[in-house]
Structure 1
Amino acid sequence: MTHIPMADLKAEWTLLKEPVTEVVNEVLASGSYVLGEKGDELEKRLSSRIGTAYGIGTASGTDALKLSLQALDIGPGDEVITTPFTFFASAGAIAQTGATPVFADIDADTYNLDPDRIEKAVSHKARAIIIVHLYGKAAPMEAIMELADAYGLRVIEDACQAIGTEYHGKQVGSIGDLGCFSFFPSKNLGAFGDAGLVTTDDPQLSDRVRQLRNHGSSEKYYHTTSGTNSRLDEVQAAVLLAKLPYLDTFLQQRQAIARRYTDNLSPLLTKPETVKDRAHTFHQYNIELNHRDELAAALTHKNIATAIYYPVPLHLQPAFSSLGYQKGDFPIAEKAADHVLALPIFPTLSRQQQDNVIQAVNTFMENQH
């Protein structure tokens, strides 16, 4: 059996080679490579699509998170509540500002932060919540925004895995105070390197992020604050502009593959739950089972890639050992880390490849029972 990868960026390149090459050549010929016309156009088109007044390109999704926190003047002595079951950057960005990440457990069915558990984590030092729309599924934003309003907290949406995801008809990244997106190559909308975006409706926050990404400057060589270099370069902006017209089709293809998986995979597995009015764009398709590692090994033997997102919850990462969390503090996140397995899902995954994945998983499950 030919190898089935987790993502196939080469197949995507074959499909998009012509439009991408054309627009990248325009940039190369222009002599303008940083903070130019392509970046401006991308910011406008993405913020319009997402439904916010402003979009600010950044060098990565991680920087989008960090700059958003800095724009809110969050730093030493402050606490920011987030999930322990996510990529490291969600909490790493908090630590880099000097603030303290405070974790709250997740909902077992959706893997998103549980609003009731967020409330229990609120202290007098809490300033904000970073909510993660994990795997492309919208978090329960209505309850989270009500909670934030009640306690005077700001909300940053980590939508790095969730461009195009909707909650009650609104795009994620347009509901909280700030939204953060990643365009890492394997994302649903991916650049040819690192790239990110911050979205907001607040003109002051927009100006602040824009300054912070450019060494704290809005006028060349005049610096109102101490910022950093996190500018989205023109080549990456051009690549994203070329890919953007295909995004809806790619998301629909991901959702169609996810439906086939859900309809045909063994009922003995826990499959992604779909929630009314909370769209899922399936950056990843995760199943949950007791014999996770054995299934991964069996699929590897059949030339089918799998991945674990994420094997160690953040409160148990050595980088956060100083926070004093222990195993057992967040049992739902810990159980998920021990049992979830991501299956291949990408727009060019053929029907035959899907069938091979389904058959291999189901054969394994039958042999287990």
Structure 2
Amino acid sequence: MTDVRMFEYLQQYAEIQEEVLESIERVLSSGQLILGPEVAAFESSFADFLGGRLRCVGVNSGTDAIFIGLKALGVGPGDEVITVSNTAVPTVSAIRQTGATPVFCDVDADSCLMDLDRLEASFSDRTKAVVPVHLFGNVVDVPEIYERIGSRPIRVLEDCAQAHGSELRGKKVGTLGDAAAFSFYPTKNLGAFGDGGLCCSPDPERAELMKSLRNYGFEGQYYSEREGCNSRLDELQAAILNVKLKRLPAYVHKRRALAAQYDRELAPQAVPVAIRDGVKSSYHLYVVRVSNREEVIDALRAHGIASGIHYPYPIHLMRGYAFLGYAEGSLPHTERLASEILSLPMYPELSPDTVSRICEVVGAAARE
């Protein structure tokens, strides 16, 4: 029986239950369930949280946030979008929804992030955008991406699905690119009690385009100025997110404290993902590399401790994306990491004693 889970929300819910239920009742009694004051309030508050001069647009999911963000950047059929293959499938699925072709850049073996030394080799005259993935809460150096882009007409959309509250040299992720996408899937640092997402941009006109795209391309009632979709963050989820957002800094602080404990107590044969200078990770996941992963997983399971792999299958080797033409061995760092990475339990309510117990089990099982 597993008594330490990878994700646990019930304790957090117990702490905020009264306020959550009050917010739900407020919405249900308001007479407005779609695109009302709760969504508007959340969009404004999330922009304040990010601390940049941004306009935020609530949508149905993180996948839709990437799709709508890319459409607002002008990405479409015939274009190429550079990203990584060690991300969640939704990153690539959203690129494909635009009609564009994903182009994969290999990753740095220590940080698991896009290897910017390899980025320029991926550019072509069809490249329209780069989607750096701030994986696990770690942060890609977006300003360096712009240096690599130079004068090329290429846009940057940050995939921040795992990085609410992460920072690069004092600036929060989501404020570094031309646009950004966030997910509020329940397991995220800021999770709804269902699906939810948000895209944002420092460009007011682009943000207005995102608003139009999320609602059938409407700018007036029942009239589409452009082809859009149905992707609206609903009032109930926005109300819940409003309750949780004001607690997000404290949640991220606890994640960082737990990560620091893992760093101190883990045996050296479990190698944590590297966090570069200037980065403050929000530790959506705490990920290590081990040479005998299955043995470590079995040992943890025997002690009632869950673990995860994010992600076991590189997207470029999945049958669903075989048409992209990547062969095994084409992204060597990505492929090697998929066989070594292991995610350990990480959520704000995890106790220090439990972290110590996890470290003991990993230390006893992991080999050099």
* Cα distance, 1:241 vs structure 2: 0.3
What does residue 44 of structure 1 align with? Answer: 44
Cα shift readout 1:189-238 (whole Å, capped 9, x = no counterpart): 00000001111111221111100000100211121011110000000000
What does residue 328 of structure 2 align with? Answer: 327
One-letter amino acid of the counterpart of residue 332, structure 2: P
What does residue 26 of structure 1 align with? Answer: 26
Cα shift readout 1:165-203 (whole Å, capped 9, x = no counterpart): 111111111110001000000100000000011111112
Cα shift readout 1:4-28 (whole Å, capped 9, x = no counterpart): 0001111111111111111111111
* Cα distance, 1:161 vs structure 2: 0.6
Cα shift readout 1:63-85 (whole Å, capped 9, x = no counterpart): 00000111122111110000111
What does residue 346 of structure 1 align with? Answer: 347
| Structure 2: distance between partners of 1:171 and 1:242 | 21
| Structure 1: distance between partners of 2:24 and 2:37 | 13
| Structure 1: distance between partners of 2:231 and 2:150 | 30
Cα pair 2:270 2:363 within 8 Å, conserved: no
Task: Give me the TM-score of the superposition, normalised by structure 1.
Answer: 0.97
| Structure 1: distance between partners of 2:98 and 2:248 | 33
One-letter amino acid of the counterpart of residue 197, structure 1: L
Task: Give me the TM-score of the superposition, normalised by structure 2.
Answer: 0.98
| Structure 1: distance between partners of 2:290 and 2:229 | 43
What does residue 358 of structure 1 align with? Answer: 359
What does residue 59 of structure 1 align with? Answer: 60
Cα pair 1:27 1:33 within 8 Å, conserved: yes
Cα shift readout 1:238-268 (whole Å, capped 9, x = no counterpart): 0000011111111010000000001000011
What does residue 75 of structure 2 align with? Answer: 74
| Percent of aligned pairs sharing the same letter | 39
Q: What is the DSSP-based 3-state SS (H/G/I as helix, E as strand, rest coil) of the residue aligned with 1:227?
A: coil
Q: What is the DSSP-based 3-state SS (H/G/I as helix, E as strand, rest coil) of the residue aligned with 2:248?
A: helix
Cα pair 2:2 2:306 within 8 Å, conserved: no
What does residue 165 of structure 2 align with? Answer: 164
* Cα distance, 1:2 vs structure 2: 6.4
| Structure 1: distance between partners of 2:357 and 2:269 | 18
One-letter amino acid of the counterpart of residue 3, structure 1: D
| Structure 2: distance between partners of 1:66 and 1:361 | 39
Closer, same or farther: CA 270–150 of 1 in aligned 2, 3 Å: farther
What does residue 308 of structure 1 align with? Answer: 309
Cα shift readout 1:134-174 (whole Å, capped 9, x = no counterpart): 00011111211212343221000000110111111111111
Q: Does 1:12 align with 2:6?
A: no
Q: Between 147-156 and 210-219, report the one with greater CA deviation.
A: 147-156
| Structure 2: distance between partners of 1:48 and 1:154 | 24
| Structure 1: distance between partners of 2:292 and 2:298 | 10
* Cα distance, 1:351 vs structure 2: 1.9
Q: What is the DSSP-based 3-state SS (H/G/I as helix, E as strand, rest coil) of the residue aligned with 2:182?
A: strand
What does residue 247 of structure 1 align with? Answer: 248
Cα pair 1:52 1:199 within 8 Å, conserved: no
Cα shift readout 1:102-157 (whole Å, capped 9, x = no counterpart): 00000111111011211101011111000100000111112112123432210000
Q: Between 205-214 and 43-52, report the one with greater CA deviation.
A: 43-52
* Cα distance, 1:359 vs structure 2: 1.2
One-letter amino acid of the counterpart of residue 232, structure 2: R
What does residue 195 of structure 2 align with? Answer: 194
What does residue 173 of structure 1 align with? Answer: 174
* Cα distance, 1:274 vs structure 2: 2.5
Cα pair 1:115 1:144 within 8 Å, conserved: yes
- Any stretches of 5+ residues in structure 1 without a counterpart? none
The CA RMSD measured in Å over matched residues stands at 1.2
Cα pair 1:148 1:155 within 8 Å, conserved: no
Q: What is the DSSP-based 3-state SS (H/G/I as helix, E as strand, rest coil) of the residue aligned with 2:145?
A: helix
Cα pair 1:43 1:55 within 8 Å, conserved: yes
| Structure 2: distance between partners of 1:337 and 1:190 | 26
* Cα distance, 1:272 vs structure 2: 2.5
| Structure 2: distance between partners of 1:292 and 1:277 | 30
Q: Between 174-183 and 17-26, report the one with greater CA deviation.
A: 17-26
What does residue 223 of structure 1 align with? Answer: 224
What does residue 263 of structure 1 align with? Answer: 264
* Cα distance, 1:354 vs structure 2: 1.2
One-letter amino acid of the counterpart of residue 216, structure 1: G
What does residue 93 of structure 2 align with? Answer: 92
Cα pair 1:299 1:306 within 8 Å, conserved: yes
One-letter amino acid of the counterpart of residue 155, structure 1: V
What does residue 138 of structure 2 align with? Answer: 137
* Cα distance, 1:329 vs structure 2: 0.3
Q: What is the DSSP-based 3-state SS (H/G/I as helix, E as strand, rest coil) of the residue aligned with 2:354?
A: helix
More helix by share: 1
